[in-house]
Structure 1
Amino acid sequence: MNKFIRKTLSIITVSLVVVIALYVSLSIYITHKIEDGLRNLPLHIQLDYKQIEIDLLSASAELDSVSLQLNSPDLSTKLLSATLKTIKIEGVSYRDLIYNRKLSITDLKMNSPKVVQYNSKLKKIKSDSLNKSDESKKPVKIYLEQLSLTNGSFKKYDSLHNINTSAKSLNIFFNKINYNAKDNKKSIPFNFKSFRIEGESLMAQTSEFEILNVENFKITDKIFQMNNGTFQTKYSRKELNNHISKERDHFLIAFSAINAKKYVLKGLDSNAISLKIPEIRLEKMDATIYRNKLKADDLTHKKLYSEQLRYIKHQLAIDSILISDSKITYAEKVKVGAQPGEIYFKNLNATIANLGNNYPKEKAVEIKVNTTFMKSTQLKVDWSFNVNDKNDRFLFKAGFGALPAEDLNPFVTPNLSIGLEGVLEETYFTIGGDKRRSAIDFKTRYENFKVDLLDRETKKEKKFLSNILNLFIAKDSKENKNNFRWSDVKDVERDPTKSVFNFIWLNARKGLLGAMAGNGKK
């Protein structure tokens, strides 16, 4: 081997050694910088891992067997913990790490995160209780081009250590995340451009009595979707009686899908949250509502919907809610040993416009319903009220098609011990009122109408009393012009301890009695 070749090989060997040495040194240095960055997260964020591997050429890293714990800012309370199989970091900016003390990452992937949140009451943080060494540090900055969590799970415990929220098969994606430690006191201490959250088997206890279950869901910055869900009382009808001292609805609401598109949500990092939704679609809802009237009355003041919406804490504006192909059943038990009385609405389609407290003063909530009442009676409802009107004025219009009176017997017989005969061929009424009183304009056309008073125990007709009662009721409306009988009731007083639907019922009952037992003239 001549001298030139030996010299060339020596230069190559030395160069390779130098390059390898530089690569190893730089890898160690970069690893140290990343670990330093992770160690210098805010003190209430604890991050541990088994090992970290660095690929200097691709500017990537991988952490194995990761655990994360988030405490309250004063370090007194554990808020959240998580374990992950791996965290993969790709596209680290060396320049930002070295010169700007900023962790800039192109892609951060979290595999199989298992997250547990604890529902603990936080103490108020005093300014002098913050860790002084933490204050003296230069704020940590983090930028993520993309963050993804795949195949995750989530559980949230209440103060009694019971699970009140959970979900499986979670996939979460965020784009363009910026985090600055100086913003850590905000509700959401980072900002982002867009996100997507998908999951299955969602369970959320929304109150002491109610629970939501959803087969699968998808939420992004533009759409909200839940499929095959139920919202229901978590106790059976019998069990609920053991948990309440006053009347409370027991219900089960099942739905095929709830969809919202192009919504705008603002103010999550503050106390001024604003939500605007152009349209919500609720498909194939089946609601069953039951009330045990044997329990003591709930005598608390009941607000009309306009007042409830007016005083929502945050700003809400839903331009349109569309309900399609749905059903509602209401059952009421008023007598021991008797079956609950029941009424139902099927083939229900409805629209609700301008729902919320963030509309111009002149814009009213408008509710339109088209449904089948009981077996085959067509019913249309047109209901409007203005949220900004502190008198809570409203207008309620309804029109019924042919209603065989016997269709009402499953409700009135168990509850009122009466039976009805005949046909209400057409019925229309308009109610105008406010939160205290109302008036109703009522008209109906009917044939061979008869009320049978029944014995409470045997359900047999009390013929003598029935005959006396029917002397005061016009048998039909044929003798009147256009075959309608009318009534105009001027003053119906609302019971403020009852719901708005009780108020509607009071009006309808007085209107019907006035038409049948009054002079029947317009």
Structure 2
Amino acid sequence: MKITKLFYKKFLVVISIIAIVLFGLNFYAKNKIDEVLQQKITEKGFEYSGDISVNVLFGNVAINNVELSKDSLKFQSNTISVSDFSYYSFLINDKISIGEVKVSTSSIEGKLPKKTSKPISKKDTLQHKKEEIFIESIIVNNLNVSVVDAASYPIKMANINIEISDFDLSANSHKKIPFSYDNLFVEIDNFEKKTSEVQAIKFKKFEFKNNDIVIDSLQIVPLKSRKNYIYHLPYEKELLDLVAKQIKISDIKIEEEPNLSFSANHILVDNVFFDLYLNASVLEASKKFKPLYSKSLRDLPFKIDVKSLDIKDSKLIYEEQTKKNHKPGILVFDELNAQIKNINNSEYKTEKFTVVDIQSKFMTDSALKIRWSFDINNKNDDFRISGSLFHVNSKNMSSFILPAYNVKMDGYINEMFFDFEGNNSVSNGKLNIDFKNFNIKILDKQKNKKKFLSWLANLFVKDTSKQGMVKTKVEKLERDQTKSFWNYFWKNIEKGLQKSLI
């Protein structure tokens, strides 16, 4: 009995000593963590506050009511918890190893700082290489963001959830991507960002999971009316209105060896409505050089390899107002589908050409097919574009040029075939067109036919163009390098039509 009592007394003494030691260690660890956080965060120019609780026995740390701020940017979180901190890894291997970091119910508000290109010194690089941090799991729940960028444009995101497994900072600390991970899950709701004075981009949901991205209800929305938007721009530019039901990007890989690269097996853009409206009656067009697509892809600051991209069940509308108080000319492409293969700017690619196949209905009725190919790495920006258009009536022919130029066409296009080759400077090719009963009407401001001018114009219309096939060549058409590729393509068609008719 005495032995039992003595044992219990010794046991209680040992437990009390352990409890006191743990209490002391917890107290010491809490103060030490708070001191280190204050020092490190203050060195970075931030202000910090939070209530810290520590469990040394299990390697757990929780920081409640966290506030972190710098200038006008502020981060707040109900709880940041760290569990399963490895003392052995820290004391023996000089490496921070953590089981889980969890950030709950957080927000980021304020203004983002301007980007600065501070040179990285050799000393900084060596210090950065010493950092070794491994975290088995990082979880961010219910993060909301409401900030403005350096241009004072708002950015909003709701209910951001992030999960990262096997996060390792030591393996890649000297690289552009300073960490590696095994699995990543990201979910964002209701993203909104103003991109200019006249445009904003939105989507309802973004999800990155298993190396796939899904974006639901992507929108590019106008912030100004068609009547007034042009007065908020420095030069002539289209007002965009886009709605995409869904975008899927499959099997994404981002690598850094030997260079930073992005690859994806397939991109699907589903059910897009895209309206481009240009008011060309107020401002001068931009004189800035516009590269062709091959050059834009070639000059990306990273390597890209997208095996295929599909656009399905979409609609494209282009409207252009050339004179004040006139209706815009309009071009409509219904039932638009496109397949793009081999978007690859690597000099070691096996397939040389990027190939684009487009099928659509022009102005609802007329079947249009286009095949377009180019080599991204060809520094002359050589390309070839060919295709066909069938059964175009006079109403659809006049839909664009009548409001824009007061010129009306009567007649019917049975079929048209085109095949052009070119580069950044000049193009050549051929256009074959079969007209029926073709006639030109030049109208006055009230859209009444100017009989004499129309009669004079039709004197110059070739007789063969009024009935039957006409074959023409387009030679040495110079590119306006301040215009887009599609303007270049249209100029080839326009030149072919002129030679066919006049």
Structure 2 length-normalised TM: 0.88
Counterpart Cα distance in 2 of 1:187 and 1:38 = 31
Evaluate the alpha carbon distance shift between residue 230 and residue 25 of structure 1 in structure 2; reply closer, same or farther with a 3 A threshold: same
**What's the CA shift for 1:320?**
1.1
Q: Comparing 345-354 with 29-38, which one deviates more in the overlay?
A: 29-38
CA shift digits 1:420-442 (9 cap, x unpaired): 22211111111112222222211
**Structure 2 match to 1:65:** 65
2:373 counterpart SS class: strand
Does the alignment pair 1:166 with 2:167? Answer: no
1:242-253 matches, within 5 Å, as 242-253=231-242
Counterpart Cα distance in 2 of 1:122 and 1:88 = 32
CA shift digits 1:367-422 (9 cap, x unpaired): 11000111211100001111222222211102011111211322111111011222
Evaluate the alpha carbon distance shift between residue 355 and residue 232 of structure 1 in structure 2; reply closer, same or farther with a 3 A threshold: farther
1:16-415 matches, within 5 Å, as 16-30=12-26, 32-33=28-29, 36=32, 39-40=35-36, 42=40, 43-44=43-44, 48-54=49-55, 56=57, 59-69=59-69, 81-116=74-109, 118-122=112-116, 124=118, 141-159=132-150, 162-179=152-169, 183=173, 188-206=177-195, 210-220=199-209, 222-267=211-256, 272-294=259-281, 295-360=283-348, 363-415=352-404
Q: Comparing 198-207 with 336-345, which one deviates more in the overlay?
A: 198-207
1:110 counterpart SS class: strand
**What's the CA shift for 1:147?**
0.7
Evaluate the alpha carbon distance shift between residue 126 and residue 61 of structure 1 in structure 2; reply closer, same or farther with a 3 A threshold: closer
**What's the CA shift for 1:209?**
5.4
Does the alignment pair 1:489 with 2:482? Answer: no
Counterpart Cα distance in 1 of 2:175 and 2:74 = 20
Q: Comparing 467-476 with 210-219, which one deviates more in the overlay?
A: 467-476
Counterpart Cα distance in 1 of 2:403 and 2:360 = 24
CA shift digits 1:9-31 (9 cap, x unpaired): 34214303422430342254256
CA contact (8 A) 1:423 1:447 kept: yes
Counterpart Cα distance in 2 of 1:297 and 1:38 = 59
CA contact (8 A) 1:364 1:386 kept: yes
Counterpart Cα distance in 2 of 1:274 and 1:207 = 29
2:232 counterpart SS class: coil
What amino acid is the match of 1:112? T
Evaluate the alpha carbon distance shift between residue 458 and residue 198 of structure 1 in structure 2; reply closer, same or farther with a 3 A threshold: same
Counterpart Cα distance in 2 of 1:274 and 1:140 = 25
CA contact (8 A) 1:445 1:476 kept: no
What amino acid is the match of 2:103? M
- Unmatched segments (≥5 aa) in structure 2: none
1:512 counterpart SS class: helix
Evaluate the alpha carbon distance shift between residue 47 and residue 439 of structure 1 in structure 2; reply closer, same or farther with a 3 A threshold: same
CA contact (8 A) 2:307 2:341 kept: yes
CA shift digits 1:264-316 (9 cap, x unpaired): 1123xx99421112211111111111111112122222222222222222212
Counterpart Cα distance in 1 of 2:132 and 2:427 = 61
CA contact (8 A) 1:317 1:359 kept: no
Evaluate the alpha carbon distance shift between residue 439 and residue 126 of structure 1 in structure 2; reply closer, same or farther with a 3 A threshold: closer
Evaluate the alpha carbon distance shift between residue 125 and residue 435 of structure 1 in structure 2; reply closer, same or farther with a 3 A threshold: closer
- Unmatched segments (≥5 aa) in structure 1: 72-77, 518-522
Percent identity among equivalent residues?
25
What amino acid is the match of 2:288? T
**What's the CA shift for 1:140?**
5.8
CA contact (8 A) 1:37 1:103 kept: no
**Structure 1 match to 2:10:** 14
Q: Comparing 253-262 with 313-322, which one deviates more in the overlay?
A: 313-322
Counterpart Cα distance in 2 of 1:212 and 1:424 = 40
